[in-house]
Chains A and B, each alone.
Chain A
Amino acid sequence: MSNKPDHETETKPDRPRVLLVDDYPDAREMYTEYLEFSGFEVVEAENGMEALQRAVDAAPDIILMDLSLPVMDGWEATRRLKADSRTATIPVVALTGHALAGISEGAKKAGCDAFVTKPCLPEDLVKEIRRVLDSTANKKARRSGKYAKTIG
């Protein structure tokens, strides 16, 4: 927690950092391109295991997590992220093409903060990211009012 303000001031006061986890290259590339176009910094990961590493290394502001992933799936990766004190506060948005009932409940159980169904247009994804970031910022602000002011 104490390192975080340094990180943010150091790299990108205005460009939130997004960790994008997806095994389908075209989707990864597309979202990356659009997120960068929309003013985000993007870090990519191809599977859950890689995502855990990047989440610690890059300390993103938000994680976009595809659920069906090789090596380690999105549910397991999210559980581990939420169990790790270094990454527990980073909001996770689950992203999946599986529209079957029960998937979103499973994702929430694993610790996901929001859930988006693919296909999801890049602009809709950006809207959701902004919404989650805003609500997280508000929560943080409410939790520790004095620090929020220094960040703002």
Chain B
Amino acid sequence: MNNMLLSSALSSKAMEETGAARRELLLVNPIDGSDLVFELLSTITEDPRHGSGVVSILRNVTDLRRASEEIEENYRKMRMAEAQARAESDRLNLIIDSVADPIVVTDAAGATSLMNDPAERLFTIPRNASAIEQRWVQANDAHFSSFIAGMLVSADRRRVGEIGLLDARTGEPMPVEAIAGKILSDHGELTAVVTILHDRREALEKTRLYEQLKQASDELERKIQAATADIAQQNELLRRQAIELEQASALKSQFLANMSHEFRTPLNAMLGYTSMLLQGVAGPVDGPIKRQLSRIESNGRHLLTIINEILDISRIEAGRMPLQMSKFQVPELVGEVKAELEPIILRSKLSITVDVPKDLSPLWSDRQKVKQILLNLLSNALKFTHQGSVTVSARPNPRERVLELAVTDTGIGVALVDQEKIFEDFRQLDNTPTRPYGGTGLGLSICRRLAQMLDGRISVRSELGKGSTFSLILPTKGRK
């Protein structure tokens, strides 16, 4: 077969007649049947003796060819690996550049092998940089180098430190936290140091603000504590003052009670003797003497009323005015009130009407206090009415379970704005020294307090110059 292949190659060669040629010839290895590559060199020789002939040389080039192919293959693989490495490097760069913190990779000798954009801004002198800007970058470089140098000589694989850099654009101090890690080869040799720098200005600013906030908060807390202590102290003071006031008020009430007792003792003798004189115990009395004695008596009685009113107020204030509840007939009570004021009624020449239903249910209340209120209201009506009439009426209101006892007059009246004032202690609307109406100004104040004690109330409807209606409204079921 090899002969055939050679003959064919040679014959085709002979036909071409082209002199010396160099061709590849594929033959078969007779031993194992594998392909063999031969180089065939054929040269036509002109031999005068033997005529022309073809000299062919066969050289086995099989190994050579294989080596060449392998080289080509290796080269291709290498190119591929290179592309892959470049892609990976690009990807790494992309990642590194996308990190906001400056990252610097340094080789084992301390030379910078890679840095991202933020790092470049710190350690690379920009174009057109001024002298000062250059110095800032140089200073950064020096600081960083000394940090890396320290890292390289130490045995630590990781190191965290702080470096005082400068902002390369503004020159302002830029403290950074440097986190450096050594990268070792499989054999444990140092291949690189990767350093990440973290700008601490924001963190420091936050810390500073936090400190300030904490200080302000502490200050506030101190102030609040001080204020609270102050308030507690004030409260204590107020509490003591309240106790003192209460004691003073109790003392005042006691004093008034004692005083009224002291007033009553001599007044008792004055009124008693006057009464005896008027009754003729010491002999008959007539004419002007009798009239003058009557004046002493009526003024003495008036003084007694005043003392009693002061005593009442002090008793109510001291809480020493107990209720004595009973069931009683209202018409009878109104009759008594009218009878007690008969002398004044006679003198007044007013027409007095009593309008109380005879079939009124008995009232459950403190009879003495109801009487005192009605006496006061009626005597006020008589005092402040110069002409016309005074009516005392009783109207049950079953729906609201109250009884309204009213005294209506055609007297001087009370203006709307003054209708609350008349119930205050020691209050008469005319407080001038020459006021035309006597009295302590305690009457209505006492009446209101008594009415409240009885779970009732006193109200007034009045028009200046036309008259007034004072009403005592009492619960018909007594105290709850």
Contacts and interface: CB of A to CB of B under 8 A. Distances in A.
Contacts of B271: 119, 121
A70 interface: no
B276 A27 contact: no
A37 B304 contact: no
Interface in A5-61: 24, 26-27, 30-31, 33-34, 37
Given A37-B281, A99-B311, A122 B272 contact: yes
A118 B264 contact: yes
Interface stretch (B287-295, B315-323, B327-335, B345-353): B315-323
Nearest to B257: A100
A34 B281 contact: yes
B267 A119 contact: yes
B322 to A, nearest CB: 5
Which size bracket describes the interface of A in this complex? 20 to 34
A102 interface: yes
A122 B272 CA distance: 6
Contact of A102 (B261, B264, B320): B320
Interface in A87-127: 97-102, 118-123
Given A100-B257, A121-B271, A27 B320 contact: no
Given A26-B269, A33-B281, A121-B272, A101 B264 contact: no
Contacts of A24: 265, 269
B273 A30 contact: yes
Contact of A30 (B257, B272, B315): B272
Contacts of A101: 315, 320-322
A33 B321 CA distance: 35
A33 B276 CA distance: 9
A97 B272 contact: no
A121 B281 CA distance: 13
B264 A31 contact: no
A148 B294 CA distance: 44
Nearest to A26: B269
Contact of A27 (B257, B265, B311): B265
Interface string B257-289: 100110011111101110110010100000000
A121 to B, nearest CB: 5
Contacts of A37: 276, 281
B265 A97 contact: yes
Contacts of A100: 257, 315, 320
A105 B293 CA distance: 36
A133 B321 CA distance: 31
Given A26-B269, A27-B269, A120-B268, A97 B276 contact: no
Contacts of B261: 97-99
A123 to B, nearest CB: 6
A119 B322 contact: no
Nearest to A37: B281
B320 A34 contact: no
A102 B266 CA distance: 23
Contact of A121 (B266, B275, B315): B275
B264 A119 contact: yes
Contact of B304 (A27, A98, A102, A119): A119
Contacts of A34: 272, 276, 281
B185 to A, nearest CB: 110
Given A97-B261, A122-B275, A27 B315 contact: no
A97 B264 contact: yes
Nearest to A29: B269
Interface string B235-275: 00000000000000000000001001100111111011101
B272 A27 contact: yes
A122 B276 contact: yes
A82 to B, nearest CB: 25
B281 A97 contact: no
A97 B267 CA distance: 10
A31 B315 CA distance: 29
A33 B275 CA distance: 12
Contacts of B320: 100-102
A121 B311 CA distance: 19
Given A27-B265, A101-B315, 4 more contacts: A31-B272, A100-B315, A123-B275, A123-B279
19 contacts: A24-B265, A26-B266, A27-B269, A30-B269, A30-B272, A30-B276, A31-B272, A34-B276, A97-B265, A97-B268, A101-B315, A118-B268, A119-B264, A119-B267, A120-B272, A121-B271, A121-B275, A122-B272, A123-B275
* A-B complex: 3 closest residue pairs judged by Cβ atoms: A119-B268, A26-B269, A97-B264
